[in-house]
Chains A and B, each alone.
Chain A
């Protein structure tokens, strides 16, 4: 498509929950510093696929993955890969805001602390930077020691983004990050994604097609465990190649 570097690439990914074949031979490549949206009806495998990129499915009993995921050209499913190291490079934001039951500050610095960083000044600086990036600093700067659970849903989700950014990943996975939020908070998250794209490669799962249209550069349509079509977002929405894609985006099913 353009001369940008390939950041993430899936090669022949098959995944199974026990006997259920959840992902069927998926090949896709995502360029550096772009936003890719995964769309498709519920149960089509898009969230499962997203969680393949930071190996969050590893904890599910009976889950099995075949194929390769290349992050900067290296297979993250290779035997010698340390999962915790991988997740420092591939951050994740979940569907439902899930702040830790600790202070705002402790939430943001958690990722750094577990890496062994203990210098107070450096931690405070990193926290401020991450909260700025997540457009939350101005709202919480006077209450950093307040419980994160006291924040509104939208603020909690931006805190979760700040928490993910604090450890400086290069990829950010977002699993329907705005589906539990009100329209104003959603708009803030979308605005944020626009800004974050300058530094991060972002993959976002969304049920909201307008949202996919607003935030993403390319869009991938999943149906029944298959990747039906992956192209520039504009192309997908105006001139889809596959009949199923067209039916879905015009609202004929899903």
Chain B
């Protein structure tokens, strides 16, 4: 066998292996989707979306859960985005490249990998107890904000890095200050990337149950929260609660709630992809 035949066989072999690896992921995802859809799709109707939870599975709905999820989404965005984007801008545009800066950089990246339950414990101690917020929406949102902050900071920095240095120089050379350059040139040019990153971080937050359970989000909330100080539940917790019940009807409810949760994350990811493509079309360096 000549060398080149051998190389070609290797090439082919890796291709086949790659397809196999990809299929494993896809098959499991498909199985999951089919299973969930076949079980829960029929359960989704207007009543299901607009009913309060109940002891009887057939009358139970997810109104409080998705309302809580929506509240959490909005509050987390309001807290985490301004903080995270500002921190990212400061680290990328303002700090000198010192040892301290790279130390910070590594640690922020590490924070993104800390298990979410740890953030839950932190939120429980600081927000719920020390700051006396109780198991409120605000405490939950602030806990999730801590969770997504590292992601927001890192993606903000990545997007800012992608803006060519020549744009900054061009702006400085025209007499712009650092603030003007950042605000009028760099941030708009990085906007698409930053937005994509923050939406992705939200779709992570929306699926979290563990940190919120620790903070004290309830499994059973018989009212729709009307202010950030109210107690709450979210979809993942509702799902967890239903799957741990013995009655089969509750499992159907859980499947239906999972479909709704998937819908929200797909929607968020879809928006992120759309924005990224739009931005890429607009700006070609």
B-contacting residues of A (Cβ < 8 Å)? 54, 56, 59, 61, 84-88, 91-92, 94, 96, 98-102, 110-111, 114-115, 147, 149, 160, 163-164, 167
Please, which residue of chain B has its CB at the minimum distance from the CB of A111?
A: B174
If A94-B166, A100-B185 touch, whether A85 touches B172 (CB-CB below 8 Å) is no
B267 at the interface (CB under 8 A from A): no
26 example contacts (A-B, Cβ-Cβ < 8 A) are as follows A54-B173, A56-B169, A61-B96, A84-B175, A84-B176, A84-B177, A87-B172, A91-B174, A92-B173, A94-B173, A96-B166, A98-B170, A100-B170, A100-B171, A101-B188, A101-B283, A110-B171, A110-B174, A110-B176, A110-B184, A111-B176, A149-B285, A163-B170, A164-B174, A167-B174, A167-B175
- Whether B173 pairs with A114 at a CB distance below 8 angstroms is no
Q: Which of B97, B175, B189 gathers the greatest number of chain A CB atoms within 10 Å?
A: B175
What are the residues of chain A within 8 A of B180 when measuring CB–CB? 114
- Whether A98 pairs with B185 at a CB distance below 8 angstroms is no
Distance between B164 CB and nearest chain A CB, rounded to angstroms: 7
B282 at the interface (CB under 8 A from A): yes
B284 at the interface (CB under 8 A from A): yes
Distance between A216 CB and nearest chain B CB, rounded to angstroms: 21
A-contacting residues of B (Cβ < 8 Å)? 96-97, 164, 166-167, 169-177, 180, 184-185, 188-189, 282-285
Distance between A76 CB and nearest chain B CB, rounded to angstroms: 13
Q: Which of A96, A114, A115 gathers the greatest number of chain B CB atoms within 10 Å?
A: A114
- Whether B173 pairs with A91 at a CB distance below 8 angstroms is yes
Choose from A94, A115, A147 the contact partner of B175 (Cβ within 8 Å): A115
Please, which residue of chain A has its CB at the minimum distance from the CB of B170?
A: A98
Interface of chain B, helix or strand or loop or mixed? helix
Please, which residue of chain B has its CB at the minimum distance from the CB of A98?
A: B166
Complex-state Cα separation, A163 to B184, whole angstroms: 15
- Whether A88 pairs with B175 at a CB distance below 8 angstroms is yes
Distance between B55 CB and nearest chain A CB, rounded to angstroms: 58
Please, which residue of chain A has its CB at the minimum distance from the CB of B181?
A: A114
What are the residues of chain A within 8 A of B185 when measuring CB–CB? 100
- Whether B169 pairs with A98 at a CB distance below 8 angstroms is yes
What are the residues of chain B within 8 A of A85 when measuring CB–CB? 175
Complex-state Cα separation, A96 to B169, whole angstroms: 11
Complex-state Cα separation, A164 to B170, whole angstroms: 9
If A61-B97, A114-B184 touch, whether A163 touches B169 (CB-CB below 8 Å) is no
Choose from A59, A61, A87, A101 the contact partner of B174 (Cβ within 8 Å): A87
What are the residues of chain A within 8 A of B284 when measuring CB–CB? 149
Distance between A243 CB and nearest chain B CB, rounded to angstroms: 37
What are the residues of chain A within 8 A of B175 when measuring CB–CB? 84-88, 111, 114-115, 167
Complex-state Cα separation, A59 to B172, whole angstroms: 10
What are the residues of chain B within 8 A of A61 when measuring CB–CB? 96-97
Please, which residue of chain B has its CB at the minimum distance from the CB of A149?
A: B284
- Whether B174 pairs with A94 at a CB distance below 8 angstroms is no
- Whether A101 pairs with B189 at a CB distance below 8 angstroms is yes
Complex-state Cα separation, A130 to B180, whole angstroms: 22
If A61-B96, A98-B166 touch, whether A114 touches B176 (CB-CB below 8 Å) is yes
Complex-state Cα separation, A94 to B164, whole angstroms: 13
- Whether B167 pairs with A98 at a CB distance below 8 angstroms is yes
Please, which residue of chain A has its CB at the minimum distance from the CB of B180?
A: A114
What are the residues of chain B within 8 A of A96 when measuring CB–CB? 166
What are the residues of chain A within 8 A of B172 when measuring CB–CB? 56, 59, 87
Please, which residue of chain A has its CB at the minimum distance from the CB of B168?
A: A59
Complex-state Cα separation, A115 to B166, whole angstroms: 21
Complex-state Cα separation, A144 to B109, whole angstroms: 43
10 extra A-B contacts, CB within 8 A, seeds A101-B188, A110-B174, A114-B176: A56-B169, A84-B177, A86-B175, A94-B169, A101-B189, A101-B282, A110-B171, A114-B174, A149-B283, A167-B174
